Amino acid sequence: MTFQTSDAVAAAAARGPLRRRLLGLLPAALAAFGARRATAAPARTVRVLTAYPDEVLAAFEAGFEQANPGLHVQWIWRMPHDALPWLSEPGQHGVDVYWSASPRTYAALKQRGAFRKLGIDDAALPASIGRTRIADPDGYFRATEVAGYGWAYDDAALRRLGVAVPRDWPELADPALAGRIALPIPARVGFAPVMVDLVLQAWGWERGWALWSEIAGNARLVDRGATFITDEVGEGRAALGLTIDFFAASAVARGAGIGFGYPLHNGINPGAIAITAGAPDPAAAEAFARFVLSAEGQAILARPAIRKLPVRPEVYRTAAAGSFNPFAAAEAGGMDYDNDLGRPRLGLVAALFQHWLVEGHDELVALWRRVHAAEAAGRDVAAARAALETPPAAAGVADDAALRRAFEQIEGGDAHGPRAVIDGWRDATRAARARAAALVEAAGG
């Protein structure tokens, strides 16, 4: 398997199992192989920029090259926040295909003219799952797989806390879970802004943010690169961690003793494929995209060692019992997240979460503990609760197109935005927390 992580696209890297097996051939066989290669046409290379893990890439390389003799895959690994500037440069570093799970990066690259139309027959593939669009309406990219949101959990730890596996987001506000939830920081972890926004869409701006404030008050924050959410749960530091199903499935495949629960109100994070505008070999790029979206390619995604959710509904007919089916969940009304509505405001949502709930998080945790204790003692602290639940930005802020643009964020990048707006949020947060503390104190809490 040719795999590349440096900026030198032409440099060959480690060879995978398909190549290494040739080393076991007898010298005579190698000589015969070399003679045949001397007269055969040279293999064409399709260069694929991706952030998928090795087990996914190895399986697709083997399947694609077997189905397409004469074509070879070269992998170039980049995280989404690096892929955006890289594919925006002239020449696009010789990349043919971009294949990754980063909806905002695809939208930004399309806007910059970085893609050509896929040009493949996708009439048999769905354009959406529930209210979440998984295919670009203009034909520049489409999802090859999706990931569902939810929580990894330690069943024994939850039982010790006297808590059932949560069925939906409001149950994460249970005071019994205080300090036992691992929560990724949305401004720092690529999949997390959609997770926040799907709650806002399901419950509305005010009630949705109230839920997130209380959940954050129960949580331990996890930054990008610090640890994996699944490790927090599997190693006992948390009873429950918010994540996407693929990460949990990968942890289980490595032996982690955790479960995964899907909420009743859910959304999906699509992983898409696109052909670059400057693809050196568009025909080879189309062949790769066609294979990934084919029945054969989609079946690879459903393998137990990979455990991704394919976008071909028919693949689920042969799925293992108990497997999650996003199409069935959508039919039951559990996939109502509108990504077209959410995408323009994700940067703003992540920034608001950062400056309201992440900054001064220890203070927030302490205040929620006091409110919960006062409520358990029968004291009236409704006003203090309201002070902690009310976001420092009214619902209309999400409809302000200029402000949304000002908070645009590369996926997985740092929260940023207009200083005056952020300072206003911080001032309102300090005042609200001081008011909440005084109200709890006055109530004897």
Q: Is the pLDDT of residue 41 over 80?
A: no
C-alpha distance from residue 116 to each of 83, 109, 119, 120, 371 (Å): 17, 11, 8, 12, 55
Percent of the chain predicted with pLDDT > 70? 89
For the cut 70, the answer to whether the pLDDT of residue 10 exceeds it is: no
Q: Which residue has the tokens 């940067």?
A: 347
Mean predicted confidence (pLDDT) in 157-169 = 98
**Count of all residues that appear for the chain in the document:** 445
**pLDDT value of residue 116:** 98
Give percent above pLDDT 90 in the chain.
Answer: 76
Above 80 in pLDDT, residue 28?
A: no
Interatomic CA distance for residues 289 and 275, integer angstroms: 8
Give residue 11's pLDDT band: very low, low, confident or very high (50, 70, 90).
very low
Provide the token pair at 137.
């309406």
Angle at 242 between CA 238 and CA 244, to 5 degrees: 130
What pLDDT score was predicted for residue 18? 35
Average pLDDT over every residue of 396-403? 92
Q: What is the pLDDT of residue 36?
A: 40
Residue pair 256/153 in contact (Cβ under 8 Å)? The answer is: no
Topology adopted by domain 148-267+340-442: D-Maltodextrin-Binding Protein; domain 2 (3.40.190)
Higher pLDDT, 237 or 411: 237
- Asked if residue 8 has pLDDT above 60, the reply is no
Domain positions in the chain are 2-147+269-329, 148-267+340-442
pLDDT at 409: 67
2-147+269-329 maps to which CATH number?
Answer: 3.40.190.10
> For residue 37, is pLDDT > 70?
no
- Predicted pLDDT at 43: 80
Q: How confident is the model at residue 42 (pLDDT cuts 50, 70, 90)?
A: low
Which pLDDT belongs to residue 413?
56
pLDDT average, residue stretch 301-309: 88
pTM of the model: 0.85
Query: Would you state the pLDDT for residue 212?
Result: 99
pLDDT digits (tens, 9 = 90+) for 197-244: 999 999 999 999 999 999 999 999 999 776 689 999 999 999 999 999
pLDDT above 80: residue 359: yes
Tell me what pLDDT residue 414 has.
Answer: 60
Q: What mean pLDDT is predicted for residues 413-437?
A: 90
66-115, pLDDT tens digit by residue?
999 999 999 999 998 899 999 999 999 999 999 999 898 999 999 999 99
Mean of the per-residue pLDDT values for the chain? 89
pLDDT at 439 over 90: yes
In CATH terms, are 2-147+269-329 and 148-267+340-442 the same topology?
yes
Residue 5 has pLDDT above 50, yes or no: no
pLDDT at res. 410: 58
